[in-house]
Amino acid sequence: MVDAVEQKNELEKLGVGRPDPVILGLLDTLMSADLAPLRNVRVTLKHVWDHELDSTRNAFRNAGRDAGRKIIDALDRTV
């Protein structure tokens, strides 16, 4: 995963350990997909929306899972 988020300093103040939960959520989804083995996958994290009350480790992990589902959907359409 490439972390290209511009507002890293503001997000670090939240103390949620981002981007680790995002990566874990993404891997949860991609590793359990019924696809051929995925290799050489690069994901670039560009934008993160945060809120001081709602930006939790769990919220970022769920965002990673959602991203994984979008990747799988895109791959399903190309196969």
Residues 6+ apart with CB under 8 A from 19: 1, 3, 5, 45, 60
Domain tally, the chain: 1
Q: Which DSSP helix (H) or strand (E) runs through 3?
A: strand 2-3
- Report, as an integer, the average pLDDT of 13-28: 75
Structural domain span for residue 38: 2-78
Q: What is the pLDDT confidence band of residue 13, given thresholds at 50, 70 and 90? A: low
Q: Which of 3-7, 30-34, 69-73 has the highest mean pLDDT?
A: 69-73
The proportion of the chain whose per-residue pLDDT surpasses 70, expressed as a percent, equals 71
